[in-house]
Amino acid sequence: METSVYSAKEFASLLGISKSALLKMEAEGTLPQPRLDNGMRTYHPHDIPEYLARLGKPPLVGAKRRQIFLNFKGGTGKTSISAFYAFRLAQLGMNVLMVDLDPQGHLTQCLGIDHSSFDATLYNVLIERMDIRDAIIDTKMKNLKLIPANLDLSPVELSLTSMNARELRLKKSITSVQEEFDIIIMDASPSIGLLNLNGILASNELFVPVLADFLSYHGLKILFETLTTIEEDFDFLLDNIYIFLNNFNASHNICLRAKEALEKHYSGYLMKTIIRQDTKIAEAASMGMPIHQYAPNNRGASDINAFIKEIFPNLPIAF
């Protein structure tokens, strides 16, 4: 996964000012001096919050948010969308922590990180009481961090079974670092187990990707029944639940019928934004490269932008 660097023109546009205004304010000392790379001004995503503050604009986010992507049905494209979403948030200046809850480590792979390049997973945190900071690894973007996963995470379900407060161990660990990040994004495996239960209870927002088919539609019933049980058992309530259509093809009648069924029965949770079918998304994921770097002008990248604008309607930047 390559890092992101903005030119002066791109950075000024993101901030909602002209390039000439940016250069003038830098010369006057109103804004900080940029880095020089071979004599060219370069700007990084982690610079954005400071520039917004200097310009008197509001911060990127108000309250800290903890989000989990989960669907009990596999094959919905959950991992690639969560990875691309997290990368784009970081590219826009947010401090982001991604947490891979799946022993298959697909999220880790989507970010282009090799399974042999790290020593710790959530197993070490939840079972061996490792400080969660010691499980966080850097990416090539300063403001995007990751708790990776591989098969070393596999024994966590069995090990959690006999532990005290087993359902709340992740929430407790995340609490110690949540103020360091604007967004914490968890990617869960397509199942219900103790690790995913930990993920739900550590979150305040749930994202549910669905395909426009009736298997996905019926899977939502099981998910909401499970959530009701969790709410009752743990006196717990999510702040927001977002259902979104992924890999959507409007030319297929079955897609349109499934969309109508979702609009009828889940209208209170269904996002307006639809992630359209796009082969570039699958290609980008297979190469461990975010869609905004692999094909930044493609419709997949455009749909992720629209997705973010719906979740964060008051972002003080133009993208």
Domain 65-311, CATH homologous superfamily name and number: P-loop containing nucleotide triphosphate hydrolases (3.40.50.300)
Mean per-residue pLDDT for 292-299?
A: 94
Mean per-residue pLDDT for 213-232?
A: 88
The domain segmentation of the chain, as residue ranges, is 8-54, 65-311
Mean per-residue pLDDT for 189-209?
A: 95
Q: What is the mean pLDDT of the chain?
A: 94
When pLDDT is cut at 50, 70 and 90, the band that residue 129 belongs to is very high
Per-residue pLDDT, 218:
76
Mean per-residue pLDDT for 301-314?
A: 97
- pLDDT of residue 1 exceeding 60, the answer is no
- pLDDT of residue 174 exceeding 70, the answer is yes
As a three-state string, the secondary structure of the chain is CCCCCECHHHHHHHHCCCHHHHHHHHHHCCCCCCEEECCEEEECHHHHHHHHHHCCCCCCCCCCEEEEECCCCCCCCHHHHHHHHHHHHHHCCCCEEEEECCCCCHHHHHCCCCCCCCCCCHHHHHCCCCCHHHHCEECCCCCEEEECCCHHHCCHHHHHHCCCCHHHHHHHHHHCCHHHCCEEEEECCCCCCHHHHHHHHCCCEEEEEECCCHHHHHHHHHHHHHHHHHHHHHCCCCCEEEEEECCECCCCHHHHHHHHHHHHHCCCCECCCCCECCHHHHHHHHCCCCHHHHCCCCHHHHHHHHHHHHHCCCCCCCC
Per-residue pLDDT tens for 20-39?
A: 999 999 999 999 998 888 88
- pLDDT of residue 131 exceeding 70, the answer is yes
